[in-house]
Every structure is written in C-alpha cells, then in structure tokens.
Amino acid sequence: MLQTISKPRSELSIYAPKIVKMKLTPSQIRDVIGPGGATINDIIKQTKVTIDFKED
C-alpha cells in the first residue's frame, strides 16, 4: 500500500461508503417505520440506503 500512497488521505472521498448508527426508543422505531412500513420504505426508496434494526 505504501507504494501507492505514502500516507492516508486527510479527507474521505464523497463517494466513500458511510455507516451511521443510531439508538432509538421503541416509540421512535414505530415513527420511523410508519403505518404499514410506508415511512421507512419511502426513506429507502429516496435515499437508496439499507436500514437494519437490531434489538439490544
């Protein structure tokens, strides 16, 4: 790797994939999903993201 670049870049490319992790209360999860999943499906369709919910 050092033959290609001598040090890491100071900024990420705008095309680099990103991960955002959020903690929500159970009542907030219902708001994000929406009635019949309409809200979350609209978010996925408009932003072309993957959304995973995990209980912890």
Per-residue pLDDT tens digits for 4-22? 888 888 998 999 988 888 8
Q: Nearest-CA neighbor of 41 among 1, 49, 27?
A: 49
Instruction: Please say whether the beta carbons of 40 and 29 come within 8 A.
Output: no
pLDDT over 80 at 1, yes or no: no
Map 15-44 to HEC letters: CCCCCCCCCCCHHHHHHHHCHHHHHHHHHH
Structural domain for 38, as ranges: 15-56
Q: Residue 24: CB partners within 8 Å, gap ≥ 6?
A: 32
The answer to whether residue 1 sits within a structural domain is no
pLDDT of amino acid 46: 95
The answer to whether residue 31 sits within a structural domain is yes
pLDDT of amino acid 45: 95
The answer to whether residue 28 sits within a structural domain is yes
The answer to whether residue 21 sits within a structural domain is yes
Total domain count, the chain: 1
> What tens digit of pLDDT does each residue of 34-55 get?
999 999 999 999 999 988 888 7
